[in-house]
Amino acid sequence: MDVVFRIPGPLRNLAGDRDEVRVAGAPRVLSEALSMLWAECPAVRDRVLTERGEVRQHINVFVDGENVRDTGGLGTPVRDGAEIFILPALSGG
């Protein structure tokens, strides 16, 4: 069973210059899938999560095209073969 993470441009140098990281395992929910990603790319974690364990305010995570803010946050179910995007939100000044 695999889950595929799509890594945004600004974080690729922290993920071995990869735009896609495939992790093997059977995560049930997003938090478990992310733990697998952190094991593979530890430097990505603190850029995506705050020290409170929350997804940073201006980061969006999509599981199979759905923004997890609408589907249960870190508890969003993850299916076998899921595709997970980590994307900076449209914000800034």
The binding site for other proteins (CB under 8 A) comprises 10-11, 14, 42-43, 45-48, 50-52, 54, 56, 58-59, 88-89, 91-92
Residue appearing with tokens 């094991």: 39
Alpha carbon distance 63, 68 (integer Å): 7
Q: Which is nearer to other proteins, 1 or 43 (CB)?
A: 43
Q: Please say which residue, 20 or 46, places its beta carbon nearer to other proteins.
A: 46
Least distance in Å: CB of 61 to other proteins? 12
Q: H or E element: which one contains 85?
A: strand 83-88
CB of 83 to other proteins, least distance (A): 21
Q: Which of 12, 71, 15 is nearest to 38 (CA)?
A: 15
